[in-house]
């Protein structure tokens, strides 16, 4: 089973859920796809065994061959090339490394050079196989790293993917093709607003979804009302607890600090599995106590 853990906005406790779910199960692969700000390693303290760079192909124009016909710029659907006044400009922050420009160039004036955009670290945290993508600072292209990480998914294991917050392209790539997406939210107006956007995205990807409400005893009931209306299961609720916040700030996983929560995470997993297998209906949304 491959479970993606996402959230419409940052700071909802998504990484806490990912790390503690992974720690509560056996035979787990945890993939941190929040490549701009990966945090799982802070709690898992893994032993890194392998690391390898991730690069994307970047076009380099040999101006001695180029006749400035402009065909490369026309072919680039990402507007990463412009041909003006006898020169070819390349905007690397827009380039997806698709190779269309070098393929189309009639003069064979474009060569593809690999530009390193980040690294992938592979290691162990206890029994957990840990994979961590890390984007170079200032590098805008997270997607190629996430694709590489997802290429390492081992479907014989339970796979937990920590997805970056929001609903941008890297989030779509990380969630697409997973068996279930867990959306972590808080019962606040911002939390609800971002949850709605995230639900829309996950539904477009046809990935079954459920919600975890963190800090469930603050705010109002609107998240519950929304989930009930939309037939979205709320699979667990975690009330605000000072000990959780303190453990987080010290880099200690919640279930180490409060071991009674381990059962809660196991139950969460069982519910996800049952929904995927169709043995319990999706409409099991709980109401706030
Ligand atoms: S397609 Fe090739 S020849 Fe034409 S402008 Fe681009 S690099 Fe130059
Ligand atoms: S590699 Fe693709 S995205 Fe990059 S400049 Fe060429 S056509 Fe555009």
Taking CA atoms only, the protein residue closest to ligand 2 atom 2 is: 98
Tens place of pLDDT per residue across the chain (289 aa): 999 999 988 888 999 999 999 999 999 999 999 999 999 999 999 999 999 999 998 999 999 999 999 999 999 999 999 999 889 999 988 898 899 999 999 999 999 999 899 999 999 999 999 999 999 998 888 999 999 999 999 999 999 999 999 999 999 999 999 999 999 999 999 999 999 999 999 999 999 999 999 999 988 899 999 999 999 999 999 999 899 889 999 999 999 999 999 999 999 999 999 999 988 655 554 444 3
C-alpha 153 to ligand 1 mean position (Å)? 39
Side by side, the strands of the sheet bearing 110-125 are: 47-61, 110-125, 128-135, 28-32, 158-162, 2-6, 180-185, 209-214, 234-238
The pTM score is: 0.88
Which residue is closest in CA terms to ligand 1's atom 6? Answer: 72
| Ligand located closest to 59 CA | 2
Q: Of the residues 56, 100, 102, 104, which should be mutated to test ligand 2's pocket, given the most ligand atoms within 8 Å of the CB?
A: 100
Task: Please state, in angstroms and rounded to a whole number, the distance separating the CA atoms of residues 25 and 9.
Answer: 26
**Ligand 1 mean position to 71 CA, how many Å?**
6
- C-alpha of 113 from chain center: 28
Q: Which of 224, 234, 231, 216 is nearest to 271 (CA)?
A: 234
Instruction: Report helix, strand or coil for 266.
Output: helix
């Amino acid at each position: 089973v491959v479970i993606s853990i996402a959230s419409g906005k940052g700071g909802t406790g998504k990484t806490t859920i990912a790390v503690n779910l992974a720690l509560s199960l056996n035979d787990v692969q945890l993939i941190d796809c929040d490549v701009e700000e990966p945090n799982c390693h802070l709690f898992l303290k893994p032993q890194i065994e392998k690391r390898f760079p991730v690069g994307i192909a970047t076009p380099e124009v040999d101006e001695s061959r180029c006749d400035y016909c402009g065909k490369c710029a026309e072919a680039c659907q990402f507007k990463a090339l412009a041909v003006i006044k006898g020169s070819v400009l390349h905007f690397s922050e827009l380039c997806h490394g698709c190779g269309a420009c070098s393929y189309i160039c009639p003069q064979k004036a474009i060569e593809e050079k690999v530009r390193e955009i980040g690294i992938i670290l592979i290691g162990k945290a206890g029994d957990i196989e840990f994979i961590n993508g890390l984007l170079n600072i200032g590098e805008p292209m997270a997607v190629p790293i996430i694709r590489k990480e997802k290429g390492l998914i081992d479907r014989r294991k339970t796979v937990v993917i920590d997805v970056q917050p929001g609903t941008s392209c890297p989030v779509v790539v990380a969630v697409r093709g997973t068996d279930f997406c867990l959306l972590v939210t808080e019962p606040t107006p911002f939390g609800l607003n971002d949850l709605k956007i995230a639900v829309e995205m996950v539904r477009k990807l046809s990935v079954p979804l459920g919600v975890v409400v963190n800090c469930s005893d603050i705010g109002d009931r609107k998240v519950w009302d929304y989930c009930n209306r939309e037939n979205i299961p709320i699979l667990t609720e975690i009330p605000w607890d000072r000990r959780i916040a303190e453990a987080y700030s010290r880099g200690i996983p919640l279930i180490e600090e409060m071991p009674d929560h381990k059962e809660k995470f196991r139950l969460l997993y069982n519910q996800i599995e049952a929904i995927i297998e169709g043995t319990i209906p999706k409409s099991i949304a709980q109401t706030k106590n």
